[in-house]
């Protein structure tokens, strides 16, 4: 059971990190090359598709990482689980206000203020990428020490 929990934690954390880094390094910069109205429209569609997938991966990685620690994997499994799990409250507390502002029904999607929000979102999303990469590196290090 320990091996299964470690595998799922690492797999889900790695998939999350891969998606997050792709968004940070490729997708978001690419959409920001368009005018603001198009960039905001593309961001909204991308966000709607990615949110459920990424939340599920982060939560599964966190829960199975905690289970791995509890089943005898060691304290660092718990640390890695908390790091990947931290993207969820970070998103809800820090990123969500920016998301809500972009999604506001009265928002002028072509405005400089919208571009500023999209740029801010990109910086905030980079934090999620960094946290998920750190968790993945911890998970992988732990698996290599087995």
Query: pTM here?
Result: 0.93
pLDDT in tens, 58-83: 999 999 999 999 999 999 999 999 99
Structural domain that includes position 104: 2-144
> pLDDT class for 146, splitting at 50, 70, 90?
confident
Cα gap 61→27, rounded to integer Å: 24
Cα gap 1→4, rounded to integer Å: 5
For the chain, what is the domain count?
Answer: 1
Predicted pLDDT at 145:
86
With tokens 């290090």, the residue in question is: 141
Give CA angle at 10 (7, 15), nearest 5°: 120
pLDDT in tens, 16-58: 999 999 999 999 999 999 999 999 999 999 999 999 999 999 9
Residue 76 burial by Cβ neighbours in a 10 Å radius (0-12, 13-18, 19+) = middle
């Amino acid at each position: 059971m320990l091996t299964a929990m470690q595998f799922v934690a690492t797999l889900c954390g790695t998939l999350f990190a891969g998606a997050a880094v792709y968004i940070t390094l490729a997708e978001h910069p690419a959409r920001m090359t368009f005018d603001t109205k198009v960039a905001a429209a593309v961001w909204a569609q991308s966000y709607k598709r990615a949110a459920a997938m990424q939340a599920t991966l982060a939560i599964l990685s966190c829960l199975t990482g905690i289970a791995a620690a509890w089943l005898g994997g060691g304290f660092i499994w718990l640390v890695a689980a908390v790091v990947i799990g931290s993207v969820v409250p970070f998103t809800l507390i820090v990123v969500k206000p920016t998301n809500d502002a972009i999604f506001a029904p009265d928002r002028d999607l072509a405005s400089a203020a919208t571009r500023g929000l999209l740029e801010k979102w990109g910086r905030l999303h980079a934090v999620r990428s960094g946290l998920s990469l750190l968790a993945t590196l911890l998970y992988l290090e732990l698996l290599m020490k087995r």
